[in-house]
Amino acid sequence: MSSIRLIATDLDFTLLNEHFVLTETTKEILSRILDSGVEFVPCSSRPLGEIPQWLRDQKKIRWIVTANGGLIVDNQTGETLVSNTLPAARAKALLTKAEPMNPHWSCLIEGRLHSHLAILDDRKALKIDGSYLENILKNRIWESGKDFLDALPDAQIAKIHFITSRDYPEKKQALINLLSDEEGIELTSSHPSNLEILHPQANKGEALKWVMQQLNCTPEETAAFGDNANDLPMLNVAGHSVAVANATEEVLAMARHHALSHKEDGAARMMEQLVFQ
């Protein structure tokens, strides 16, 4: 009998396929895992409203980690249980510094992304199209600039997200260099084409520790799945760290287990193996 009591997983490029959806195979495996009594926790950089509806509809999923660990939400009540955020004034100061270099930002506030209209203006260059474009048009609040924060002085920003071009990694590095001397923030990335600013205690590792404490769960009873740098804190906490085949070299090198890629239901198939075999 497996000792796994808790599974935490990244979504994009890990549990979701190349079309950013849960396949029927993955849903079937997850349903069996939930029915077995294993705790399952999605851990994503996405806001709650952009977590796949199927996951939010599962009554056996108690917690969802969003904003790269900045927020932990009760999946049944919608209540925010843990919040590590940046005040509005601090967020505006950071945007003031970074915007001349990269205006393609979004701020996550109360579960909704407020995004600069420059993202839509430059969507062809940023390669934003198809279902992703449809999703952001439907779910985001579009702003003409950072001054919208002046009307929300008490707002708490769960993350600031920049879209960067994977074709020009030096521009992303320049943005990292620009912000690296700022105190009281954490820089991370969930994909080659983004950069995120977080509260220093906002990461998936701290979020997973919180869940483990609620369950009195040990590392050896915990499995975590990921593909990119923002997943490393979570993978380091779990006794069973799993990298999908499409993960970065850094993640592949530190993972205890390796799964098939996100195009092959790799994460779900490894979950099935760890829980039932």
pLDDT, tens only, 208-217: 999 999 999 9
Q: Are residues 41 and 68 in the same domain?
A: yes
Is residue 58, in this structure, part of any structural domain at all?
yes
Query: Is the pLDDT reported for residue 37 higher than 80?
Result: yes
Q: How far apart are CA 186 and CA 176, in angstroms?
A: 11
Residue 192: what pLDDT?
Answer: 86
By percentage, how much of the chain surpasses pLDDT 70? 100
142 lies in the same domain as 162 = yes
**CATH no. for residue 221?**
3.40.50.1000
Q: What is the mean pLDDT of residues 216-231?
A: 97
11 and 22 housed in the same domain: yes
pLDDT tens digit string along 2-22? 799 999 999 999 999 999 999
Q: Is residue 233 part of a domain?
A: yes
Task: Look at residue 166 in the predicted model and tell me its pLDDT.
Answer: 82
Question: How far apart, in whole angstroms, are the C-alpha atoms of residue 214 and residue 186?
Answer: 25
Q: Which two tokens stand for residue 136?
A: 């952001």
My answer on whether 183 and 210 are in the same domain is no
Give yes or no: residues 122 and 175 share one domain: yes
Domain membership of residue 78 (yes or no) is: yes
Nearest CA to 63 out of 15, 19, 6 is that of: 6
Same domain, 33 and 108: no
Cβ atoms within 10 Å, residue 135: 13
Whether residues 94 and 192 fall in one domain: yes
Regarding whether 179 and 113 lie in a shared domain, the answer is yes
Instruction: Please compute the mean of the pLDDT values over residues 26-35 and round it to a whole number.
Output: 98
**Percentage of the chain lying above the pLDDT 90 cut:** 92
Asked if the structure places residue 54 within a domain, the reply is: yes
Same domain, 28 and 112: no
Backbone CA torsion sign across 12, 67, 69, 3: negative
With contact defined as beta carbons under 8 Å apart, do 253 and 234 qualify? no
Q: Confidence band (pLDDT; 50, 70, 90) for 277?
A: confident
The mean pLDDT of 176-187, rounded to a whole number, is 96
Lowest mean pLDDT among 91-95, 131-135, 200-204: 131-135
What CATH number should be reported for the domain holding residue 163? 3.30.1240.10
Residue 189 has what pLDDT? 92
**Mean pLDDT value of segment 54-73:** 97
Mean of the pLDDT values across residues 222-246? 97
Residue that finishes a domain, picked among 173, 198, 223: 198
* Amino acid at residue number 38: V
Q: Can you tell me the distance from the alpha carbon of 212 to that of 231, in angstroms, rounded to the nearest whole number?
A: 16
CA dihedral 219, 220, 225, 230 (to 10 degrees): 30
pLDDT band at 272; cut points 50, 70, 90: very high
Among the residue ranges 36-40, 91-95, 113-117, 133-137, the one predicted with the least confidence is 133-137
Average pLDDT over residues 136-151: 95
Q: End of a domain among 198, 216, 247?
A: 198
User: Residue 1's pLDDT band (boundaries 50, 70, 90)?
Assistant: low
- How far apart are the C-alpha atoms of 147 and 215, rounded to whole Å? 42
* 92, 180: one domain: yes
Last residue of a domain, one of 198, 228, 261: 198
The residue to which tokens 């592949």 are assigned: 252
This prediction's pTM: 0.89
Whether 65 maps to a domain, the answer reads: yes
The domain of 36 spans 6-83+202-276
Domains contained in the chain, number: 2
Lowest mean pLDDT among 36-45, 126-135, 196-205, 222-231: 126-135
Rg over CA atoms, the chain: 18
Pick 268 or 134 by higher pLDDT: 268
User: Residue 200 pLDDT more than 60?
Assistant: yes
Q: Are residues 211 and 79 in the same domain?
A: yes
Task: Kindly give, in sequence order, each residue whose CB lies less than 8 Å from that of residue 120, ignoring residues fewer than 6 positions away.
Answer: 142
With respect to residue 1, please indicate whether it lies within any of the assigned structural domains: no
Average pLDDT, rounded, for the chain: 96
pLDDT at 237 over 70: yes
One domain, residues 110 and 186: yes
